[in-house]
Structure 1
Amino acid sequence: MGKQLLSVLACFLHFVAAAQQVTITGSVKDAQTREPLGFCNISVLHSTLGTMADEKGRFSLKLPQNQSNARLVVSFLGYQNDTIQLQPGKTSYSVHLRPMAGKLNEVVVTGTMKEVSRLESPVPVEVYTPTFFRKNPTPSLFEAVGLINGVQPQLNCNVCNTGDIHINGMEGPYTLILIDGMPIVSSLSTVYGLNGIPNSLVERLEVVKGPAASLYGSEAMGGIINVITKSPLKAPRVSAEVFGTTWGEISSDLGVKFQAGKAHGLLGLNYFHYQNPLDKNKDGFTDVTLQQRVSVFNKWDFERSQNRVASVAARYVYEDRWGGQMNWSREHRGSDQVYGESIYTKRWELIGQYQLPFPEKLMAQLSLNRHQQNSFYGTTPFLADQTVAFGQLYWDKPLTPRHNLLLGTSFRYTHYDDNTPATASAKEATPQNQPVTTPLPGVFVQDEWSLTDKQKLLLGYRYDYDKRHGHIQSPRVAYKWSPGPQHTVRASFGTGYRVVSLFTEDHAALTGAREVVITEALEPEKSINSNLNYIWQAPLQDFLVTVDVTAFYSRFSNKIIGDFDADPQKIIYSNLRGHAVSKGITLNSEFSFYSPLKLMAGVTYMQVYQKEAEGEGPLVKRVQLHAPEWSGNFLAGYTFAGNFTVDLTGTFTGPMRLPILPQDYRPEYSPWFSLVNVQLTKKWPNGLEVFGGAKNLLNFVPKNPIMRPFDPFDRTMDDPIANPHGYTFDPSYNYASLQGIRGFLGVRYNLVK
């Protein structure tokens, strides 16, 4: 009887112990970046028990007492699984997952107009997230992309600080800007397409270096920058960022998401303020333009049946900036008393996409933008009004599991008017203003085959018709081969074109010092392009290493180039009588340690030049302006205990050819220089961040950026004693910002729930 009682008591005690529970809590983060990994899976080995982490990577799991020494398996797509042995008495755990394939698992759309893993894309696409750009905070994406190897934000005027984006040495008009995959088509897109989008609302940037005319048409000869904004469904409820510099610059971003029925909205505001004229190089001119810029961005995503896509977004940008002599004021605008360059800009954009309600995937896309500019460069006015409408319809049709077809048609209409020779009729004795209207219809097809599990082939063709230039054809072929999980080889070949769209602000900015001359009816530019890309990625014992190498070659005919050399008082535009070449190789390397250390470095070597006949003589080679042979970037980051992160970032640039005057005392090539920045960031679990640091640690500032700054109206230019070489006022000798070392301090906040 006693033994029976003892057995019953033992069973009872075992039942009571089993009925007791223990709660295990923890957090899951990226082993390298220490960023939370939201919505990862946590399961008990050899059991059906498990849970999922929240959006901040936090989890809570209740286990029976007899499972308190179990093993937990933590898994997340793109990361190596981690197994945690629970310990008696310990109920809180911190898990750090190691990335398995780095950024190559990210989904991209730019290369093929379809969502595809970056690893599987036959077209090489580089992806950059806000985390990358926050390592050196900037007031605009225009400045932020300067940290990307092979991408150069180039300032073209020392007075008004106008610039454009160069990809692999190709000027701004050769780069197409997309917002959420929709072309912001215009000759001014690289000047303003990356300004005014709140950085807090950007999910990622996708960069394609090289031509993509077979899909996107004109302006996609040099490359593409696609700004992917956050979905209102996934964005933080509130995001904000404010920072200032010791120069007096203040930049602020605010993002708010909200819901109205089945519509999810995202509203963003961006404001930049700088009203502190400084002349540290003592040339009598402002070192940096004074400006106020405000931008409003609003995006809506709509819930539809079968998860069909429907979204619309609008953006408005207003900018008022000026640079010039230190005693310039508004009353001097356009006068010859005090020299100044003043620019008022109004720009609005509307983009949208809608998946048609059919069983097949039919996508309709629309973009519409208007750009109005009222500028004075000294006494020279530049008044421009441009409207661009773009519509596109495409059918994404899987023919078999290994074969996909993309068919589409597009139409672009451009209306452009200004007060320059670009819109003046030459038929009358007295030229009359004649706005330029350019309809550009086109069709395109893309055929993508997965030949084997390791090989993929993409064929593309585009046909456009321009009323001035006739029929324009743009074929391309791309091939991807993955001989093993660590190696990927891509090769592509194609053609590109750009219809004539001569005047962007960077050209007009020089008219205050030089006369613009167009010598002929300009023909469309054409190019033949090829590139070869190799990626090696390997998860080693202590870190994940990625090496990305691309060789590129482009040959241009009919290229439109401004001649600064024939006459120091003119810029002469004509089609090149010869050919132009852009060739080189880029190398990007990344070491993601399984500790809070990350190292990145990249280098680009390129030769960009044109060969043109002079009279009846042989072709003469000229190196392109503002195209350095060597350039690169570097980044080192480490996160200490307590969520303190130190980031060292920088770029280096080799000598580049600059526009000089005859018998100029300034060197024709810029020196080697490096721009180095450091930042310290402290993060708290509630979404608050405080950051600060210094920019341009080496205090590099270009010398003699303006010719004859004391005589901007050339009143004493003809004095043979004071000016024996006949120099003229010229602010175009520029290759870097005139801002030296400066500190910055800011705060950032994200409210998720």
Structure 2
Amino acid sequence: MRTLILTVVFGLISAVVFAQTGVKGRVLSGETSLVEAVVKIENTTIGTVADQGGYYELTSLKPGNYTLRVEYIGYKTVRRKLLVMADQMTTVNFELAVDADLNEIVVSATLKPVLKSESVVPVEIYTPKFLQKNPTSSLFEAVRLINGVQPQLNCNVCNTGDIHINGMEGPYTMILIDGMPIVSSLSSVYGLSGIPNSLIERVEVVKGPASSLYGTEAMGGIINVITKDAKSAPLLSLDGFTTSWLETNLDAAMKFKIGENTNSLLGINYFKYGERKDHNKDGFTDVTLQERVSVFNKWNFDRAEGRTASMAVRYLYEDRWGGENHWNRKRDRGGDQVYGESIFTNRMEAIGMYQLPTTPNIYTQFSYNWHQQNSFYGTESYQAKQQVIFGQAYWDKELRNHSLLVGTSYKYTYYDDDTRGTGIYDEDGLVENDPMKRPNLGIFVQDEWTLNKQNKLLLGYRFDYDKVHKGIHSPRIGYKFTPSPHHVLRASFGTGFRVVNVFTEDHRALTGAREVVFAEALNPEKSYNANLNYSWKVPASFGVFNFDATAFYSYFTNKIDADTDTDQTKIIYDNLDGHAISQGLSLNVDVVFDFPLKLMMGATYMEVYRKEEGERNSLYHSPKWSGNLLATYDFGSGFSTDLTGNWTGPMRLPRVEDDYRPEYSPWVVLANIQVTKKFNERFEIYGGVKNLFNTLPKEDAIARWWDPYGEPGNGVTPPAGRNDVIFEPNDYSYTPLQGIQGFLGLRYTVF
């Protein structure tokens, strides 16, 4: 009897203590879990997002009647009324249907609103949840987890870099914000810094050329950052973290309404790192000290008949420096006693889109950016200003089974600096300042032809006129074959071009270590490209497999060659007298299990090389093998863990004459682990370890670090047998100088 009474008592206590009032369920589309589907109770601030298995849960609700709304990009919104009973968890599952009428699902591939599954051009989409698996202070670091995308440091002192896609250098990658080419070449290093992660709706990646729509700088691929719509964004988002290296990052976003037809979204990013650390004992800072503030404000306007109108502005200020540990800004900036690289950046951007109030669908877009850089690289001054004005208009028309796009664009670039790039010099020095003023007018046409349910054909053509290089043609053709919903084959062929300004792209041209020489007038680069993509969805009894395989090939003529081997005191720019090739295979595998585990794996094999006078050489920083791994497991009770990492094989590295360092890097693995505790729909904390295996360079990252100015300046005895090399702080980089570190952060969201 005593046992029975105790059992009943403990049962009642457990029921009182652990009984919850709320609703739970799963959001699906067929067999696919809709990760990060937004689940909200209408007319309240209560909401959440679905986890990796599509599951959601809203607890601590008061008993009563509610209307539950579920939203997911590319799918029709579903509303359902429900009655919540006291001390009960009501189960409500949702099946969402694809919304073929939804705008702006994929814009970077073909400029037209189109669903990812219907796009002729393969597009990879990454959500904020993906970016949160390894929290970073900038998108530059976050894209490291994307297979085939490699953020590459080009300077081991100031830690500037660019983003490689399929082995091609950063200038071949176009960065877009909301579909607009807002990130100019001068700011390719800094353009992905300071975009608040709390404002990002998704990141779209297109690997391969897109010059037929976007013109120059789109030869290697596109990264398009889509920001949230001010109307549907959360009311408030806060995300902040700090690391054991005392790096601090804060993202904040808040939306508000102005009148009846205007919604605004304000975002702020702040980053601070001020510690002088020198773990490798070379006398230089391991990581650049920096302070960054970025403010982003976006407006969305409600108009008659659902026409589009939006505008956004962003301002960025950054102060960064790296160099010898005892460098002092007031005493040593620009001096020849203590080496340092100091960069002040002021940047302003504006973008907008407006659909004309006409029966034909005519859209206008514009962007403007102003960039001012005040820099010293040792004794070498680099004071630069750049302004880029871009505008375009296009007509979107459906004609039976043809989807036409016809448009025109205009881009004007003004660039001035205090180097030989924008000046006329003689033996005595500067004769006349000659800023670059380059207009570019383009027209483009595209036809997406639906032959039948299984076959689509994409035809595109672009003509650009540049005052220096005259007319440039860029045709494009794509084909999509869908034999069944689980199999899709995509093929594309096209050409690309790039008008080059080396001083805004190659950091080696800005340092005092080498003299810059132009062997001849540079011609625009051209490329011929082919891609074959196959995606395959495999339902299984325990989950769903998604395979995505791509074969790519690009042939470059007139490629700009930065020769640092002929003369160790010079960097010689010339058009390649030969050709360059980027070719390879990539495979992505995405597995969503019925139990709360999700895996994402990828691998890329590529050969990127140039061939001149019968001699073949691999391009720098282009590993033959690379890949990534992401694993997420949900333990329940709000606990989940993420294991992320990427790896690269040996890659050729730039060296100086008589260099004692190896020509090729070793295999490198960077791994991270994170644990997240979600307390409720609004609040969660996360923490973990970055660079889990403490992967660091095995060699000197800076050549002749003990003697930057020809006389020992840091009190270090020169290593034996290393006196013949010159000082070179750039490019010899294959892994960050930052070793293992812990991090801790929190997120707070009000829907």
The aligned amino acid for 1:238 is L
**In the alignment, which residue of structure 2 is the partner of 1:640?**
635
CA 292–75 in structure 1, closer or farther in 2 if over 3 Å, else same: closer
CA 508–345 in structure 1, closer or farther in 2 if over 3 Å, else same: farther
Distance, in Å, in 1 between the alignment partners of 2:439 and 2:134 is 41
* CA offset digits 1:185-240 (Å, max 9, x no partner): 52134312211110011000000000000000000000000000000111111101
Distance, in Å, in 1 between the alignment partners of 2:441 and 2:71 is 49
| Secondary structure, counterpart of 1:295 in structure 2 | strand
Count of paired positions? 703
**In the alignment, which residue of structure 1 is the partner of 2:453?**
453
Unaligned runs of 5+ in 1: 1-22, 43-52, 65-71, 614-618
CA 724–447 in structure 1, closer or farther in 2 if over 3 Å, else same: closer
Match runs of 1:291-690 below 5 Å: 291-330=290-329, 331-400=331-400, 402-425=401-424, 431-504=431-504, 506-508=506-508, 511-613=511-613, 619-690=614-685
**In the alignment, which residue of structure 2 is the partner of 1:16?**
none
CA 570–643 in structure 1, closer or farther in 2 if over 3 Å, else same: same
**In the alignment, which residue of structure 2 is the partner of 1:93?**
90
CA 24–375 in structure 1, closer or farther in 2 if over 3 Å, else same: closer
Q: Is the 8 A contact 1:26 1:94 kept in 2?
A: yes
Match runs of 1:188-207 below 5 Å: 188-207=186-205
CA 174–192 in structure 1, closer or farther in 2 if over 3 Å, else same: same
Match runs of 1:95-134 below 5 Å: 95=92, 107-134=105-132
| Secondary structure, counterpart of 1:352 in structure 2 | strand
**In the alignment, which residue of structure 2 is the partner of 1:210?**
208
Distance, in Å, in 1 between the alignment partners of 2:40 and 2:749 is 20
The aligned amino acid for 1:706 is I
**In the alignment, which residue of structure 2 is the partner of 1:152?**
150
CA 139–306 in structure 1, closer or farther in 2 if over 3 Å, else same: same
* CA offset digits 1:365-417 (Å, max 9, x no partner): 000001111111111111111100000000001111x2110000000000001
The aligned amino acid for 1:145 is V
Structure 2 residue 700 is the aligned partner of structure 1 residue 704 = yes
Q: Is the 8 A contact 2:237 2:750 kept in 1?
A: yes
Q: Is the 8 A contact 1:33 1:639 kept in 2?
A: no
**TM-score (norm: length of structure 1):** 0.88
Distance, in Å, in 1 between the alignment partners of 2:253 and 2:205 is 24
Match runs of 1:276-295 below 5 Å: 276-295=275-294
Distance, in Å, in 2 between the alignment partners of 1:301 and 1:75 is 19
Rg (Cα) greater in structure: 1
| Secondary structure, counterpart of 2:473 in structure 1 | strand
The aligned amino acid for 1:623 is S
| Secondary structure, counterpart of 1:345 in structure 2 | strand
Match runs of 1:53-68 below 5 Å: none
Distance, in Å, in 2 between the alignment partners of 1:231 and 1:720 is 57
Distance, in Å, in 2 between the alignment partners of 1:542 and 1:415 is 57
Cα drift, residue 511 of structure 1: 1.8
Q: Which moved more, 1:181-190 or 1:708-717?
A: 708-717
Cα drift, residue 92 of structure 1: 2.5
CA 93–714 in structure 1, closer or farther in 2 if over 3 Å, else same: same
Distance, in Å, in 2 between the alignment partners of 1:543 and 1:722 is 59
**Superposition RMSD in Å:** 3.3
The aligned amino acid for 1:696 is N
Match runs of 1:200-279 below 5 Å: 200-261=198-259, 262-279=261-278
The aligned amino acid for 2:538 is A
Distance, in Å, in 2 between the alignment partners of 1:134 and 1:511 is 36
| Secondary structure, counterpart of 2:143 in structure 1 | helix
Distance, in Å, in 2 between the alignment partners of 1:309 and 1:506 is 38
| Secondary structure, counterpart of 1:464 in structure 2 | strand
**In the alignment, which residue of structure 1 is the partner of 2:13?**
none
Distance, in Å, in 1 between the alignment partners of 2:222 and 2:90 is 44
The aligned amino acid for 2:89 is S
Q: Is the 8 A contact 1:377 1:509 kept in 2?
A: no
Cα drift, residue 450 of structure 1: 0.4
Q: Is the 8 A contact 2:464 2:473 kept in 1?
A: yes
Distance, in Å, in 1 between the alignment partners of 2:550 and 2:579 is 23
Cα drift, residue 724 of structure 1: 7.4
* CA offset digits 1:155-196 (Å, max 9, x no partner): 011111010010111111111111001112521343122111
* CA offset digits 1:94-113 (Å, max 9, x no partner): 45669999xxx993111111
Cα drift, residue 595 of structure 1: 2.1
* CA offset digits 1:636-693 (Å, max 9, x no partner): 1101121101100000011110011223211000000100000000112241110000
Distance, in Å, in 2 between the alignment partners of 1:239 and 1:185 is 25
Q: Which moved more, 1:367-376 or 1:721-730?
A: 721-730
| Secondary structure, counterpart of 1:191 in structure 2 | coil
The aligned amino acid for 1:710 is W
The aligned amino acid for 2:663 is E
Q: Is the 8 A contact 1:164 1:506 kept in 2?
A: no
Q: Is the 8 A contact 1:597 1:639 kept in 2?
A: yes
Cα drift, residue 90 of structure 1: 8.9
* CA offset digits 1:236-283 (Å, max 9, x no partner): 111011100000100001101011111110111000000011000001
Distance, in Å, in 1 between the alignment partners of 2:718 and 2:278 is 29
Distance, in Å, in 1 between the alignment partners of 2:23 and 2:84 is 13
Distance, in Å, in 2 between the alignment partners of 1:140 and 1:228 is 15
* CA offset digits 1:617-642 (Å, max 9, x no partner): xx211110011111110011101121
Distance, in Å, in 1 between the alignment partners of 2:502 and 2:473 is 21
Q: Is the 8 A contact 2:530 2:552 kept in 1?
A: yes
Identical positions, percent = 56
Q: Is the 8 A contact 2:380 2:510 kept in 1?
A: no
CA 88–560 in structure 1, closer or farther in 2 if over 3 Å, else same: closer
| Secondary structure, counterpart of 1:192 in structure 2 | coil
Q: Is the 8 A contact 2:209 2:495 kept in 1?
A: yes
Distance, in Å, in 1 between the alignment partners of 2:393 and 2:36 is 39
* CA offset digits 1:702-724 (Å, max 9, x no partner): 1211111110112379x999767
CA 626–316 in structure 1, closer or farther in 2 if over 3 Å, else same: same
**TM-score (norm: length of structure 2):** 0.88
Q: Is the 8 A contact 1:157 1:510 kept in 2?
A: no
CA 655–115 in structure 1, closer or farther in 2 if over 3 Å, else same: same
Unaligned runs of 5+ in 2: 1-19, 50-55
CA 159–360 in structure 1, closer or farther in 2 if over 3 Å, else same: same
Distance, in Å, in 2 between the alignment partners of 1:353 and 1:731 is 43
Q: Which moved more, 1:24-33 or 1:452-461?
A: 24-33
Q: Is the 8 A contact 1:557 1:578 kept in 2?
A: yes
Cα drift, residue 475 of structure 1: 0.2
**In the alignment, which residue of structure 1 is the partner of 2:711?**
715
The aligned amino acid for 1:745 is L
Cα drift, residue 120 of structure 1: 0.6
Q: Is the 8 A contact 2:147 2:603 kept in 1?
A: yes
Q: Is the 8 A contact 2:84 2:90 kept in 1?
A: no
The aligned amino acid for 1:708 is R
